[in-house]
Amino acid sequence: MATSYHYLERRLLSSECLISNAFLCRTVNLPGSWQLTPITSENRLTATSCHFCFLFAQMPASSQPIDFSDDQIGMHKKDPEKRVFVNRNMRLEKIKFFGFDMDYTLAIYKSPDLESMAFDLIKERMISIGYPEHLRSFKYNPIFPVRGLWFDYLYGNLLKVDGFGNILVGMHGFTPLTPQEIEELYPNKFLHLTDKRVYVLNTLFNLPETYLVACLVDYFDNSPDFTLSTDKTGVKSGDVVMTYRSIFKDIRNAVDWVHFDSDMKKTIINNLDKYVERDDRAVQLLEQLRQSGRKTFLLTNSDYWYTNELMKYLVGENWTEYFDITVVDASKPKWFADGTVFREVDTTTGALKIGIHAGPLKRGVVYSGGSCDAFRRLVKARGKDVLYIGDHIFGDVLRSKKARGWKTFLVVPELDHELTVWTDRRPLFEQLRELDTLMANIYRNLDGNTRDKPKIDDILKNIKGVTHEMDQEYGVMGSLFRSGSRTTFFASQVERYADLYASSCYNLVHYPNFYFFRAPMTLMPHESTVDHSSIMHQKPESLKKQNSVGQQVRGWTRMMSKSTTFCHEEDEEDQDGPSSNSDNEPVEQVHKRERSHSEESSESLNQTDVLVPNPSYVDVD
């Protein structure tokens, strides 16, 4: 028995138990006790239907059930900065093609150095088209901007919203909007994304312009030469009117100029140590994938010259040998729709070779343009066997998921900072939990007959204060993923479209290539707030007869099933709907809603990674 127990302890602390023939479940009528039982033909259904169980491999067939307590159970988890987090189940062994974006994915830019340089270039461009020289005094401040904000260019407000468009936080320049001001400008504190007044600042590239927007709104609102217009949509000076819409349009044009026509890329290449992180895990990851027999491809919007210089710095002179297919000038997200034709790049001159490439895509050859349809035909990719890794929630993740059914991995560099606050500021979160508990206890013995309203103003004030203090730990605009207890628009997009996400794509080196990424159970409030030890004291008559429904269903399942199903969750990844068609199936036309003005005006950015070419974009360990 001692030998069996120590064997069990080792298996409990292992993260490699992937093929199971034993299950762990609560011991009946013995709280705090667990039992490890070999799976047999008689109890197999019990094992699969167990609400909370661990599965283990290679338990000796002769072993008897083993009992042990809660405090002997351990679940290994990697260090937070090394982890890949899971929204939907994924078996890496089913992935045949690993695709990578380059900018902010394989190439991680140093922050705030790159943002500061881009900010300076944008403001210089604004001055060159007639904006005041005073703009030169603006210095980029990384504590202010956060991704995922909506800019309402009708009233000049930066808005942090949830996944439904409810406004969580508002900022006009550097002045926070009060709840009353938000209610006045936005009835019901709500704004719809399709309104032709919204631009979503969703990418890492948007951080400099987010801060510049705030700088300019603050400058013109407080300038003695300008007064606020009566409809609050801009400022005026004599006969000159400047709307927030026109100011933002000038910023957008300046941003496009910086990335299309300035020397920004040359500055980066000439100062790679200053602007680009070199991660030793880059070669390690690509080597691991190659040795496991997986196909890899690079799909970037950057041109060949910039891609070549950056990849040589990251991987080495022979960087193309690490990819089975290399595509530059991809023009994402259009690449996932109509796209263009594949053309071969002359790697000596960087120019495109004449003619359209129609043959197979070869290792060591660099291609330009193309489309997802052509790519799929040429490499025989189904869609579900492709994992694409990128940083752009729209250009990389959303489009590849919705249009093509690819598996998706979102790179979120800010995650390291988010996790640092989450772990280092634990007392704040515990304080908020204590206040919630205090609130619950005040209402504990009150019911519909209670007439005396309890005094909770002080508690609400404290909750608001702690929440504000928590948000400040992340930055002026708070966390990327939440505001207080409510998740943001960006967080909702991550949950919906990213199967996996992590602070770096290189975190994959910490997982075996057959790893099963299993998403944690998503609990609804009636599940997350009701403990399993709770007892239903008063059951309606109609429910009392259903006490044995579980046994009835299990009997029905045994009778109806043609084959034993062991784990339904394993097939979750293949049930995403019509977007996951194979090559032999016609692709259903995706319903297209009318594009909002913000999407049209941001098309040039939505097609880019970070730098664009000139025209010729909880794991369970």
Residues 130 and 256 in one domain: yes
Q: Which of 67, 101, 218, 571 is catalytic?
A: 101
Residues 71 and 120 in one domain: no
pLDDT per position as a tens digit, 168-225: 999 999 999 999 999 999 999 999 988 889 999 999 999 999 999 999 999 999 999 9
Residues 128 and 192 in one domain: yes
Residues 136 and 52 in one domain: no
Say yes or no to pLDDT of 385 above 80: yes
Domain count across the chain: 2
Residue 24 lies in a domain: yes
Residue 108 lies in a domain: no
pLDDT per position as a tens digit, 354-375: 999 988 999 999 999 999 989 9
Residues 54 and 185 in one domain: no
Residues 200 and 250 in one domain: yes
Q: Which of 207, 236, 270 is the last residue of a domain?
A: 270
Kindly state the average pLDDT of the residues 392-413.
Answer: 82
**609 counts as catalytic:** no
**Residue 419: predicted pLDDT:** 96
Query: CA–CA distance from 444 to each of 307, 440, 528 (Å)?
Result: 62, 6, 18
Residue 539 lies in a domain: no
Q: Looking at 74-83, 174-183, 272-281, 535-544, which range is the least confident one? A: 535-544
Say yes or no to pLDDT of 68 above 60: no
pLDDT-based confidence at residue 97 (cuts at 50, 70, 90): very high
pLDDT-based confidence at residue 405 (cuts at 50, 70, 90): confident
pLDDT per position as a tens digit, 590-612: 334 444 444 444 443 333 333 32
Kindly state the average pLDDT of the residues 469-480.
Answer: 95
Residues 147 and 9 in one domain: no
Residue 468 lies in a domain: no
Q: If you ran DSSP here, which 8-state letter would residue 621 be given?
A: -
What's the whole-number average pLDDT of the chain? 82
pLDDT per position as a tens digit, 273-291: 999 999 999 999 999 999 9
| Among 53, 46, 52, residue whose Cα is nearest residue 564 | 46
Q: Which of 50, 76, 102 is the last residue of a domain?
A: 76
Residues 27 and 136 in one domain: no
Kindly state the average pLDDT of the residues 74-88.
Answer: 89
**Residue 76: predicted pLDDT:** 77
Q: Which of 76, 92, 127 is the last residue of a domain?
A: 76
Q: Which of 71, 103, 452, 499 is catalytic?
A: 103
Residue 281 lies in a domain: no
| Among 287, 274, 295, 351, residue whose Cα is nearest residue 318 | 287
pLDDT per position as a tens digit, 130-159: 999 999 999 999 999 999 999 999 999 999
Residues 25 and 125 in one domain: no
**pTM to 2 decimals?**
0.79
Residue 529 lies in a domain: no
**576 counts as catalytic:** no
Residue 67 lies in a domain: yes
Domain span including residue 193? 113-270
Say yes or no to pLDDT of 3 above 50: no
Residues 45 and 119 in one domain: no
- Per DSSP, the residues of 229-281 read -TTSSEEEETTEEEEHHHHHHHHHHHHHHHHHHSSHHHHHHHTHHHHEE--TH
Residues 145 and 264 in one domain: yes
Residue 383 lies in a domain: no
Q: Looking at 304-313, 537-546, 599-608, which range is the least confident one? A: 599-608
497 compared with 59, residue with greater pLDDT? 497
Residues 140 and 253 in one domain: yes
Say yes or no to pLDDT of 37 above 60: no
